[in-house]
Amino acid sequence: MGRLIARRPVLRIGPDGSTRRPDALAVEEPLELRVGGRALAVTMRTPGHDVELAHGFLLTEGVIGSLEDVRDARYCGSRDDEGRNTYNVLDVGLAEGVPAPDTGVERNFYTTSSCGVCGKASLDAVRLRTRHSPADDPVQVTPEVIAALPGVLRDRQRVFDSTGGLHAAGLFTAAGEPIVVREDVGRHNAVDKVLGWALMQGGVPVKGSVLVVSGRASFELVQKAVMAGVPILAAVSAPSSLAVELAAECGLTLAGFVRGRHMNVYAHAARIERTTP
């Protein structure tokens, strides 16, 4: 697992007394994302798939729209006390002709593992325009397929099994076959890693697919799905009111509380095929 898991001593207390033992924790470290050598954002993430994370972040923030917009990505400039590279600074070079991100206050933001992007200067900086609208995607998925996806996602959470401390996101076909699954301490990072993977595979817009997240569906996660052209987002927990509003506005099918055989479909339910009761 490398840097994905850290072991720390813990005092375990129960009805039969207490014991000291090592415990496995999900690693959380900062990643500074630079574009063309200039700092753009810092996010707290689980190390691994950082290049995917960077591509997904830049895609869902509207900086890039395709893999051709990126020239290269490389680690740089971060050393620990012993002079070793921490791999916590990643610099992305944009292709010739691709505008650099706005360096004004609109993009001086910090992200956390819990809430995602914080401190944007205005509502206009939060709400972005997508190049890959999902509105016309004709994909149809059965309720049975949607209902099964959280379980498939959970079965592929390797680090969660050891730590119990990670979110997951996964991209699936309309038939329920897993395409890619990623874990992270931040739900938004897990989504960025999945969508970054899709971008690097030439798969954006992500047509005919279902994005599944292990927690709630926030405005930010809905926006990320819309920015990548994902037609269906399914969440294990609840959506927010603004998430539902954005999904309805942008043509995204949004399902929440997907547990067992039940779910609530909040927007564009026509993509989820229904049988007669």
Q: How far apart are CA 273 and CA 43, in angstroms?
A: 38
Catalytic residue among 76, 115, 118, 250: 115
DSSP string, 154-205: HHT-HHHHHHS--EEEEEEETTS-EEEEEEESSHHHHHHHHHHHHHHTT--S
Are 9 and 21 spatial neighbours (Cβ–Cβ below 8 Å)?
A: yes
Taking Cα atoms as reference points, which of 60, 59, 28, 58 lies closest to residue 44? 28
Q: Which two tokens stand for residue 244?
A: 């539902």
Q: What angle do CA 266, 209, 63 make, to 5 degrees?
A: 90
Tally DSSP H helices, then E strands, for the chain: 7, 14
Specify whether 115 is catalytic.
Answer: yes
Name the amino acid, one letter, at 176.
G
Taking Cα atoms as reference points, which of 181, 146, 148, 147 lies closest to residue 166? 181
Q: How far apart are CA 32 and CA 44, in angstroms?
A: 9
Are 182 and 190 spatial neighbours (Cβ–Cβ below 8 Å)?
A: yes
Q: How far apart are CA 233 and CA 238, in angstroms?
A: 12
Instruction: Give catalytic residue positions.
Output: 115
